[in-house]
Structure 1
Amino acid sequence: MADAHADPALLLRDFVNTLNIDAGTEGLATPADLAGWLEESALVPSGTVASDGDLGVAIALREGLRTAMLGHHRGAAADGTGVPELPGELEDALGVLPLRVTLAAGPRPALRPAAAPDTAAAGLARVAAAIADASADGTWPRLKVCHEDTCLWAFLDTSKNRSRAWCTMSTCGNRTKTRAYRARRRASASGPGAGSP
Structure 2
Amino acid sequence: MSEDMDNPADLVIDFVNTYDVESDADSIPTPAALATWLGERGLIRPGEVAGETDLATAVGLRDGLRAALRHDHDRPGGADGHGVGHGAGLPRAFAALPLRVTLTADGPVLEPVVTGVLGGLAEIAAAVMGTHADGMWPRLKVCAENTCQWAFVDSSKNRSRSWCSMRVCGNRAKTRAYRARRQTEPGSRHL
SS at 1:9 equivalent: helix
The answer for the alignment partner of 1:16 in structure 2 is 16
One-letter amino acid of the counterpart of residue 112, structure 1: E
SS at 1:155 equivalent: strand
Can you give the 5+ residue segments of structure 2 that lack an aligned partner in the other structure?
none
Which protein has the larger Cα radius of gyration, Structure 1 or Structure 2? 1
Structure 1 residues 148, 133: CA separation in 2 closer, same or farther (over 3 Å shift)? same
Q: Deviations over 1:77-99 (max 9, x none)?
A: 99xx9733612211110011010
Distance 1:151 1:186 in 2: 25
The answer for the alignment partner of 2:107 in structure 1 is 108
Structure 1 residues 82, 151: CA separation in 2 closer, same or farther (over 3 Å shift)? closer
The answer for the alignment partner of 1:120 in structure 2 is 117
Selected match of 1:132 from 129, 132, 135: 129
Selected match of 1:154 from 112, 137, 151: 151
Kept in 2, the 8 Å contact 1:77–1:83? The answer is: no
- Within a 5 Å distance, the mapping from 1:46-125 to structure 2 comes to 46-74=46-74, 83-84=82-83, 86-103=86-103, 105-115=104-114, 117=115, 119-125=116-122
SS at 1:100 equivalent: strand
* Number of residue pairs the alignment of both structures matches: 187
Structure 1 residues 93, 122: CA separation in 2 closer, same or farther (over 3 Å shift)? same
Structure 2 residue 157 is matched with structure 1 residue 172: no
Structure 1 residues 194, 74: CA separation in 2 closer, same or farther (over 3 Å shift)? closer
The answer for the alignment partner of 2:43 in structure 1 is 43
* RMSD (CA atoms): 2.4
Q: Deviations over 1:125-159 (max 9, x none)?
A: 00000111111111111100000000000000010
Kept in 2, the 8 Å contact 1:61–1:94? The answer is: yes
Structure 1 residues 183, 17: CA separation in 2 closer, same or farther (over 3 Å shift)? same
Structure 1 residues 77, 126: CA separation in 2 closer, same or farther (over 3 Å shift)? farther
Task: Give me the identity figure in percent.
Answer: 48
